Structure 1
Amino acid sequence: MPDRRQVLASVAATLAMPAVAQSDKSVSLVVGYAPGGSTDLTARIIGPELGRRLGRTVVIENVAGAGGTLGAQKVAAARPDGQTLLLGTNNEMSIHKLINRAARVDGIADFTPLGLIGSQPMMLVASTRVGVKTLDEFLAQVKRAPGKYSYGSSGIGTALHLAGELVKQRSGLFMVHIPYRGVAPLTNDLIGGVLEFGVFVLSSGLPHVRSGKVMALGSTQLAPSPIAPDIPPLGAHPQLQGLDMASWFGLFGPAQLPASQLQRLQEALRDTLAAPDVRKKLEEAGATLADPRADLASFMKSERDKYAAIVKFANIQE
């Protein structure tokens, strides 16, 4: 007959089994873009620490396509149990519904916002074959020949596209927009001189600037980036006064996430972003971390209002 200590040990092991099984469930962190981009990089930086805070393994799941909306659709359709999350960006969460009224997913209505992670500027660049090295030279040259020059982005309705149209709106310049299927073909055409100008997310474009393959003309946030203080803010120029736009990242769950799950995930995200190693890696990648008190839902609504004005100006439709 087992003694009392054996019985207690057996009971304790039995009671602990559900907790162990629960902790063994992984969390899918969906990224609506291919590996290697800024969104994927952000997910891979926060994923391990977020998993540690949740007591689970976080698995990055790349569901690329349709400007991030395929990944968003997957999360919107998932059970609201905290096991499927989205590393979302302004492309699919705030812009897509503005340019496609029939969109199957709405970044505001179909998700539970968990927290804003951070942002990084975009930058306007020139092919070295154009002979433009400064913002003043760019403005003067494009003004002399309306419609002659083109700029490229990673696709219609992306933040990069809207940033290019904002430059046109503020400066009164006319350039033709060329949408690309991602950053790689855009980069190839800029380097090859097929395309005159382009818009990059800072972290994606900076290596090409540093190597001298493209010329940086300015960044889209008012303050210079700490990792590229030599690139002037576009908004500091008199013709682009106050121009301020960023590519941002946030964490989302499906709509109707239970309050207990919401609180747990929000706390885990706050603790993750407070971890020194995570902060260091995000900042080295060009990100400015968000204020932990930021209300992501309110932020998204204000962003959508800002984007709506640009979409209307440029008559962007998908």
Structure 2
Amino acid sequence: MKLVSFYRFVGVAALASLALVGVAHAQTDYPNKPITIVVGYPPGGSTDLNGRVVAAELAKKLGVSVVVENIGGAGGAIGAQKVANATPDGYTLLVGANNEIAISRLVSASVKYTLKDFTPIGLIASQPMVLVASAKTGVKTTDQFLSLAKTNPGRFSYGSSGVGTALHLAGEMIKEEAGIFMTHIPYRGVAPLTNDLLGNNIEFGVYVLSSGLPHIKAGKVVALGTTEKKRSHVTPDVPALAEHPKLKHIDISSWFALMGPAKLPAPVLAKLQKALADSLQSADLRKKLEDSGSAIAPLNVDMHKYLVDETAKYQKIVDFAKIRE
């Protein structure tokens, strides 16, 4: 019996060793099959654009096919949850925005994942949001906007693409900083918000800059200010809201990042980080993203600190506005 037990132990140990060798080989041989990048929104939006240009460059750098899978719903959270639940082998990744990576779980009890369920690979790009006025208001400047809102508390409304989105939080940050009160009107995306702004059914709105740019350039809405500290390179004539003394602390953007499931093996993570860093130097990628209003992320961002700091910023706004679904 003892001899049988010994051979059984040897057999189990040998199988375990082979499994470890197989895992190690898979990590050093990575990637050897197609990679899927999940985008938690339908095709055509800013997150989808980031996902597709990054996928194209990663395919060149890694030498395998990289496909984008659009999984819309719950403000990107359904797609993010799929990646959080995926096997951590580097073949299922997420290109996500701050909405689903950092904000959703602060405002919705139905979101079960946290930052601990992901391995941050790196930032891709960011772009400001923009506060706009409908033509009916006659408002042309930040000063006029603040004066109108201050003297008419509760009379005016602003729209965003949904409760708990970065656009909503930007609007609430403006309200808190300026000490004004406006009603938030959530829309199911940019299209219906635009229809109401152009139809003069709502006075103000907050866009991601790339979404608002066509309407601003066409003169259909008036850009009052962007939400990052400095002016955007694509709208140099539009002031940053922070240039106004009553809004000097306004600094919030929409950013996009490449993420993997938690416990991504170190060799796989290192390869992905290098491939992403190399991709962000591509002239084609840079042109596509910069033309859309984005700024390419700097290299060597401390992702852990960045995500912690951003989440703390969002938590403050969520608490102020009492946003909780």
TM-score under structure 1 normalisation? 0.91
Amino acid at match of 2:151: R
Please say if 1:78 is aligned against 2:86: yes
Query: 2 CA distance for matches of 1:31 and 1:37?
Result: 10
Amino acid at match of 2:152: A
Query: 2 CA distance for matches of 1:202 and 1:182?
Result: 14
Q: Deviations over 1:43-80 (max 9, x none)?
A: 11221111111111111111111011011011111111
Label 1:63 to 1:102 Cα distance change in 2 as closer, same or farther (>3 A): closer
Cα contact 1:236–1:242 (8 A) shared by 2: no
1:151 to 144, 148, 158: 158
Q: Deviations over 1:150-192 (max 9, x none)?
A: 0011111110000000000000110000111111111111111
- Which segments of structure 1 move beyond 6 Å, counting only runs of 4 or more? 21-24
Cα contact 1:24–1:57 (8 A) shared by 2: no
Partner of 1:92: 100
Measured after TM superposition, the shift of residue 81 of structure 1 is 1.1
Cα contact 1:153–1:183 (8 A) shared by 2: yes
Query: Does the residue aligned with 1:317 lie in a helix, a strand or coil?
Result: coil
Partner of 2:192: 185
Please say if 1:281 is aligned against 2:288: yes
Partner of 2:268: 261
TM-score under structure 2 normalisation? 0.89
Identity among equivalent pairs (%): 56
Partner of 2:257: 250
Please say if 1:117 is aligned against 2:107: no
Query: 1 CA distance for matches of 2:137 and 2:95?
Result: 37
Please say if 1:62 is aligned against 2:70: yes
Q: Which has the larger displacement, 128-137 or 173-182?
A: 128-137
Please say if 1:162 is aligned against 2:169: yes
Query: Does the residue aligned with 1:112 lie in a helix, a strand or coil?
Result: strand
Cα contact 2:107–2:323 (8 A) shared by 1: yes
Partner of 2:279: 272
What is the aligned residue count?
A: 298
Label 1:115 to 1:23 Cα distance change in 2 as closer, same or farther (>3 A): closer
2:322 to 308, 315, 318: 315
Measured after TM superposition, the shift of residue 100 of structure 1 is 2.3
Amino acid at match of 1:149: F
Query: Structure 2: 5+ residue runs without aligned partners?
Result: 1-25
Query: 2 CA distance for matches of 1:41 and 1:194?
Result: 30
Measured after TM superposition, the shift of residue 242 of structure 1 is 2.5
Please say if 1:31 is aligned against 2:51: no
Query: Does the residue aligned with 2:280 lie in a helix, a strand or coil?
Result: helix
Query: 2 CA distance for matches of 1:227 and 1:216?
Result: 13
Query: Does the residue aligned with 1:292 lie in a helix, a strand or coil?
Result: coil
Partner of 2:13: none
Measured after TM superposition, the shift of residue 277 of structure 1 is 1.8
Cα contact 2:177–2:249 (8 A) shared by 1: no
* 1:131-150 mapped onto 2 (5 Å cutoff): 131-150=138-157
Query: Structure 1: 5+ residue runs without aligned partners?
Result: 1-17
Partner of 1:217: 224
Provide the alpha-carbon RMSD of the alignment.
Answer: 1.5
Measured after TM superposition, the shift of residue 35 of structure 1 is 1.1
Label 1:213 to 1:143 Cα distance change in 2 as closer, same or farther (>3 A): same
Query: 1 CA distance for matches of 2:124 and 2:295?
Result: 9
